[in-house]
Amino acid sequence: MKYYIGIDLGGTNVRTLLVDENGKSYSEVRDITERENGPDYVCSKIIRQIEGLDYSVCGGLSNVTGIGIGVPGPVDTVNGVMIMATNLPGFENYPICEKLSNRFNLPVFIDNDANVAGLAEALLGAGKGKSICYYVTVSTGIGGALIVNGQLVSGGRGHAGEIGNIIVKNNGYKHGALNPGAVEAEASGTAITRKGKEILGEDKVAHAGDVFRLADEGDVKAQGLADEVISEIAILLANIAHTVDPHCFILGGGVMKSKRYFYDQLVEQFNSKIHVGMRGYIPILETELEDCGAIGAAMLPMSRLR
């Protein structure tokens, strides 16, 4: 049995797990990130977390095979650094992989948090046994990951899977650095909530699920908004399908909590937008793993060291 360390590094919390090759977790250390203290401080905290894990199951840290890190934002996977670090100021081009590798004499890999979540689902969850999986998370934002034969495809500069910037609506809403009409600005949980408040009223919509619930209850305006959002997500999936032709899509994220209101319609819309020969052959599956962040990070070295 091989063992790996997975690190889920976010702007608010950082957690470190000892995981085996089957995704079973044995020990965890968690703390607030304290990003305001800078990358050296956070890196030192991660080192302490790694040292604080219980290695009794594998006979010591020396028997760990590798370390993986999941982080928010695009990553240069070749050089092991973050390209953008909006939620982790100072981490742009910070050599965290090099520092951890030197400290523990282990190979260290880093990738986007959506990518590592997708890797976990492909290897251990809904996509297990399928050669080409495309993972999509629809939550605060929209992200994606392509996993082929058990390995992430991160692209030349780590931007593969940054699907939130794909345009699904001409002359649509402009949010931050995204394209006008990008799917993240039109159909993410944040976008659905924004639109719902504008169209249905502040008092009726607290989160995206309220829009789908109101549509199901017969609210005509909510139905129009839900139809629009479902069509936009279907366009996103169709665009990816025609580029990748995966064996399955795996959908995750907070918006999927409301799937009972929109799943069947999404599948119908998706199949109506792809070539006839593809229809019915690309299932849209739901995530199976409850905790795929740090576990997915631990799968990085497993997939890369084959």
**Which residue from 52, 71, 50 is spatially nearest to 4, judged by alpha carbons?**
50
Taking the C-alpha atoms of residue 230 and residue 41, their distance in angstroms, rounded to an integer, is 43
Taking the C-alpha atoms of residue 170 and residue 186, their distance in angstroms, rounded to an integer, is 11
Taking the C-alpha atoms of residue 265 and residue 279, their distance in angstroms, rounded to an integer, is 14
pLDDT for 293: 83
pLDDT for 290: 79
pLDDT for 234: 98
Tens-level pLDDT at each residue, the chain (306 residues): 999 999 999 989 999 999 999 999 999 999 999 999 999 999 999 999 999 999 999 999 999 999 999 998 889 988 999 998 878 999 999 999 999 999 999 999 999 888 999 999 999 999 999 999 999 999 888 999 999 999 999 888 778 888 999 999 999 999 888 899 999 999 999 999 999 999 999 999 999 999 999 999 999 999 999 999 999 999 999 999 999 999 999 999 888 889 999 999 999 999 999 999 999 999 999 999 877 788 999 999 999 887
Here the tokens at position 152 are 């992430």
> Measured over all CA atoms, what is the biggest interatomic distance in the chain, rounded to whole angstroms?
62
Helix axes 259-272, 220-244, angle to 10 degrees: 50
67 within 8 A of 98, measured Cβ to Cβ: no
pLDDT for 118: 94
Radius of gyration of the chain (CA): 20
- Count the residues in the chain: 306
- CA 54 to chain centroid, in Å, comes to 27
pLDDT for 286: 94
C-alpha angle 43-46-52 in degrees, rounded to nearest 5? 150
209 within 8 A of 222, measured Cβ to Cβ: no
pLDDT for 8: 95
pLDDT for 161: 87
Taking the C-alpha atoms of residue 251 and residue 114, their distance in angstroms, rounded to an integer, is 11
88 within 8 A of 82, measured Cβ to Cβ: yes
pLDDT for 71: 93
Helix (H, G, I), strand (E, B) or coil at 70: strand
265 membership: H or E segment, kind and range: helix 259-272
- CA 294 to chain centroid, in Å, comes to 11
Here the tokens at position 151 are 């390995």
Q: Domains along the chain?
A: 3-118+291-304 (3.30.420.40), 126-286 (3.30.420.40)
Q: Has this prediction a pTM greater than 0.85?
A: yes
pLDDT for 157: 78
42 within 8 A of 31, measured Cβ to Cβ: no
- CA 37 to chain centroid, in Å, comes to 26
pLDDT for 78: 87
Here the tokens at position 101 are 């590798």
Taking the C-alpha atoms of residue 76 and residue 26, their distance in angstroms, rounded to an integer, is 30
